[in-house]
Amino acid sequence: MSQHLGGWSELLSGRNGLRSLALAGGVAVHAINVYMVTTVLPSAVHDIGGLSYYAWNMTLFVAASIFGSAVTPRLLSDAGARKALLCAIAIFAAGSASCALAPNMPWMLAGRTVQGLGGGLLLGLSYSCVRLLFEERLWSRAMVLVSSMWGVATLAGPAIGGVFAEMGYWRGAFWAMLPLATGLAALVATQVTTERSGPVASVPPFGKIALLVLTVMLVSLGSLSASWIVNIVSILAGVGLTILIARADRHAKRRLMPTGSYERGSTLASLYACIALLSIGVCTEIYIPYFLQSIHGESPLHAGYWMVLMSAGWTAGSFMSSGRRRPLADTMILIGPWISALGLVALAFLMPKGSGGAIVWAMGVPLIAVGVGVGLCWPNMLTRVFKAAPQGEENIASAAITTLQLYAIAGGSSMAGLVANLSGLAEPGGTEGARQAAWALFMVFALAPAGAGLMSRGARRAQKA
């Protein structure tokens, strides 16, 4: 018999309220940082250089987040919730300070890597601690509250980044993360218990995770060369290594993906492929502030808020599709990827045109459409992963969603850097280089959601619960 669902008043009052604030704050700090950095990055590049490494800021951050999320269960079982969260906050704060002090791009990238490790830990721990800190009847509402922090971040992140960028002091945005981290640490230290999560968690398959990160780095390194041969070799090497990892994982004792994930035509294979391709499609988001500032002369603050229209569309699409009946959900999974693909194609034609004015406002619709297309599919696909998972492998299937999404974003960011650099972002550079890169980037990345549309048949045939 299911327990009575706890109310919002119970979750948000007394000590429960402070604990809710601590866990929600963990996600908020990570998410605000993501949107803040994307907003200030054009200003940072103008100051310290390193335009060719622009996409590496996201690639290394997400790649390190993969390790952070993977080590979360073991850290939680060994150290307990309080110490684990404080460790994550300390790592994140150290990375933020490093970025604020960066005299050049290599230093900045090192700081972003440390930030990513701490952010990945914060993200994983904030969700995992829900079941440790609250009674079961409050779990559902607590998860909604924690997840909603991404919406808060779409407002706060660009505001923090935009204000400091327009002041001509982009470093201040990174310093601003430290008071937030300090306040969060104080809340965790006083309100979060030290209990461990129970049985010692198994050691994650770090070898395969490290190889996944290596595939991303191969593509990123290839993006620095102007030679097509080097670019092609780096992509082929990354793809080849990914295939080898999949073959090794297929019969491994400690698996990254549940049984059936690598079977051609299977429901899980279709679902995971669509999740990865849709995640790759939105990786163009990182370049939107740069294009708007370089081509259209928009302010950092305005460009930052225009960038989050994709995320706003994703949220709106998710609300529209959540809880829909089977026939309508199938239709959304069918048309969602194509809406996203058409939005990217529209941006390919609009972004390079003109300079400011009405053309910028016209881009609002396709930016939202890219996110809405993903959101129409997302809740239904995640639910169907849980339903399609083999009995006893539900936890692996759930964890695989996070790992796969982070890997897709890291790989997509690497590919975005490769496409942008080859298309003229760094050479000839300037406004003309940005126009060329914008057209190529959005056209190439439209292929990702289009591929999800073509591969969605298995996802739509997922067995009904």
* 372 and 316 share one domain: yes
Kindly state whether residue 164 falls inside one of the protein's structural domains: yes
Kindly state whether residue 7 falls inside one of the protein's structural domains: no
CATH number for the domain that contains residue 398: 1.20.1250.20
* 57 and 166 share one domain: yes
The reported pLDDT for the residue numbered 2 is 43
Angstrom distance (rounded) from CA 343 to CA 116? 29
* 183 and 48 share one domain: yes
* 220 and 368 share one domain: no
* 170 and 225 share one domain: no
Burial label for 260, CB within 10 Å (0-12, 13-18, 19+), is middle
Average pLDDT, the chain: 85
Kindly state whether residue 38 falls inside one of the protein's structural domains: yes
Kindly state whether residue 158 falls inside one of the protein's structural domains: yes
The reported pLDDT for the residue numbered 59 is 84
The reported pLDDT for the residue numbered 120 is 87
Residue holding tokens 């959540």? 322
* 462 and 342 share one domain: yes
* 130 and 149 share one domain: yes
The reported pLDDT for the residue numbered 465 is 40
Once rounded to an integer, what is the mean pLDDT over residues 308-335? 83
Here the tokens at position 189 are 């230290």
* 168 and 270 share one domain: no
Q: Is the pLDDT of residue 176 over 90?
A: yes
* 211 and 144 share one domain: no
The reported pLDDT for the residue numbered 1 is 37
Once rounded to an integer, what is the mean pLDDT over residues 69-84? 82
Once rounded to an integer, what is the mean pLDDT over residues 34-55? 90
First CA to last CA across the chain, in angstroms?
A: 19
Host domain of residue 295: 264-465
Once rounded to an integer, what is the mean pLDDT over residues 367-375? 93
* 236 and 115 share one domain: no
Kindly state whether residue 6 falls inside one of the protein's structural domains: no
| Of the residues 198, 227, 242, the one at which a domain ends | 198
Burial label for 195, CB within 10 Å (0-12, 13-18, 19+), is exposed
Least confident of 11-25, 98-112, 133-147, 193-207: 193-207
Kindly state whether residue 295 falls inside one of the protein's structural domains: yes
Kindly state whether residue 5 falls inside one of the protein's structural domains: no
* 189 and 316 share one domain: no
pTM: 0.78
Closest residue by Cα to residue 427 from 43, 51, 45? 51
**How many domains does one find in the chain?**
3
* 228 and 194 share one domain: no
Per-residue pLDDT band for 170 (boundaries 50, 70, 90) equals very high
| Of the residues 198, 221, 237, the one at which a domain ends | 198
Kindly state whether residue 3 falls inside one of the protein's structural domains: no
Least confident of 186-190, 198-202, 286-290, 303-307: 198-202
Angstrom distance (rounded) from CA 298 to CA 309? 15
Angstrom distance (rounded) from CA 218 to CA 226? 15
